[in-house]
Amino acid sequence: MKKTVQLLGLAFGIGLSFAPAAFVWKKPETKPVAPSQASPPNILLIFVDDLGWADLSSYGSEYYETPNIDALAAGGVKFTDAYAAAAICSPSRSALMSGKYPSRTGITDWIRASFQNAEARYDGKSKQEYERDLKQKLIVPPIPFELPLSEKTTAEYLKEQGYFTAFIGKWHLGLETHYPDKQGFDVNIGGCDFGQPPSYFDPYENARTKGIPTLPARKEGEYLTDREGDEVINLIRKNKGGSFFINYAPYAVHTPLGGKPELIEKYKAKSPAKGQGNPVYAAMIESLDQNVGRILAELKAQNLLENTLVIFTSDNGGLEGNPNNPITNNPPFRSGKGFPYEGGIRVPFIVSWPGQIAPRVSGSPAITMDIFNTILETAGTRPDRAIPNDGVSLLAHLRTGKPLPTRDLFWHFPHYRYEEVTPYNIVRSGYWKLIHNYEDDSDELYNLKDDIDETRNVASRLPKKRQELRGKLDGFLERTGAKVPVPR
């Protein structure tokens, strides 16, 4: 049964005021042991918004500074070939909650918020851009405005296992009737229909929107990422006696860009590197890193670190932004958020569990839905057999290095994104990657083993491989009931 009571983040009476810049978390010196049969492990899922694969120093950045996240990677399994379920936010978030490809839920594009006229949908008067733009060659399918309550979410599975469940940060999966507290979370702090915060500073307002509905103002000028970090720490303290699942989905590092002035000045003094040089974005990343460090330190202080699975990843690739004033760059990959190339879909992915997972680097391909299955197995349960599921549990791979099953990965985006991106779908099969473009029925074929930046399209030279992968895409669309664009 879906919960109907929403609890707002009020800092639970604990006024935390840290100076996170002075702290760097250090990975514990532990060795893997046999799985414990004591209390069910805690699970902390950190699902960052718009963080690119190359936005961490542990993934190659020479401009951004992320010592706490780097320590997490050094103490756990760092994936090099991990993917978001989509190149934009809402589809990946639906995949995380449901364990399904976005094409199954129909959430293949970002969901509009109430201030973007989503409420009109409920009286049949909604007019979204896919209905208005007559310049587009194709009519693209409409999407649901929410993750249906009929979907059994990660939180609902864990509630059945006796977990306390909490959501902090960006939800972006529907209006108030579909907020996290209606989808299995005991506590919802900040989760609403917004895809981005009005502002990163309390009271989180702009000219159009007055605050975040589920995050009451607390201290004028307080930085949003610090506030979220406080709320996570408070929840850990209040629930340290039982098993908890905390889904921390920071609004950072999504636009509108906004960082702490002292950190912005710090990065203004640094030289750009590898196409990364936006001081405001860098300040946002450092604030994120500081709060990850604070949260890990709290787990350690409460003697919970060795009984907590920590997962860190992003919902899509980094946003490149205006070429004249770029936000970030995603080397060595091509392009960024929204695009079908690796820069749009490949993301950082780190899993840590001291005493259970030995530190190493994994080159096995993984995708957002795998997090769903991994969390369920960690909690001692599995997806209902009657419900379609598109992920695999990574737990054995994490613990022992057991190879993951050979499989193909798919993406389906039957929409337009501004003037730069037209409808597409993708299959990765081994090192081969095929991008199908709907507008002209063309294909791009790349071998990621020797063409990681996707500059050599070999589709015309390898017609059999192209045909094979097109067949796999067709099968995927049929299996998942995917909706496709049609000629105007």
The catalytic residues are 89, 172
Single out the residue of 289, 278, 276, 281 nearest to residue 259, CA to CA: 281
Query: Distance between terminal CA atoms of the chain?
Result: 42
Single out the residue of 330, 319, 311, 416 nearest to residue 368, CA to CA: 311
Q: Residue 1, Cβ neighbours under 10 Å: how many?
A: 6
Question: How many Cα atoms within 13 Å fall on the side-chain side of residue 290?
Answer: 23
- Letter string b/e over residues 192-205, b meaning 16 or more CB atoms within 10 A of that residue's CB: bbbbbbbbbbbbbe
Please list, in sequence order, all residues whose beta carbon lies within 8 angstroms of the beta carbon of residue 199, skipping any fewer than 6 positions away: 205, 206, 224, 256, 258
Q: How far is it, in rounded angstroms, from Cα 126 to Cα 174?
A: 15
- Give the chain as a 3 state SS string: CCCCCCCCCCHHHCCCCCCHHHCCCCCCCCCCCCCCCCCCCEEEEEEECCCCCCCCHHHCCCCCCCHHHHHHHHCCEEECCEECCCCCHHHHHHHHHHCCCHHHHCCCCCCCCHHHCHHHHHHCCCCCHHHHCCCCCEECCCCCCCCCCCCCCHHHHHHHCCCEEEEEECCCCCCHHHCHHHCCCCEEECCCCCCCCCCCECCCECCCCECECCECCCCCCCEHHHHHHHHHHHHHHHCCCCCEEEEEECCCCCCCCCCCHHHHHHHHCCCCECCECCHHHHHHHHHHHHHHHHHHHHHHHCCCHHHEEEEEEECCCCCCCCCCCCCCCCCCCCCCCCCCCHHHHECCEEEECCCCCCCEEECCCEEHHHHHHHHHHHCCCCCCCCCCCCCCCCHHHHHHCCCCCCCCEEEEECCCECCCECCEEEEEECCEEEEEECCCCEEEEEECCCCCCCCCCCCCCCHHHHHHHHHHHHHHHHHHCCCCCEEC
Please list, in sequence order, all residues whose beta carbon lies within 8 angstroms of the beta carbon of residue 385, skipping any fewer than 6 positions away: none
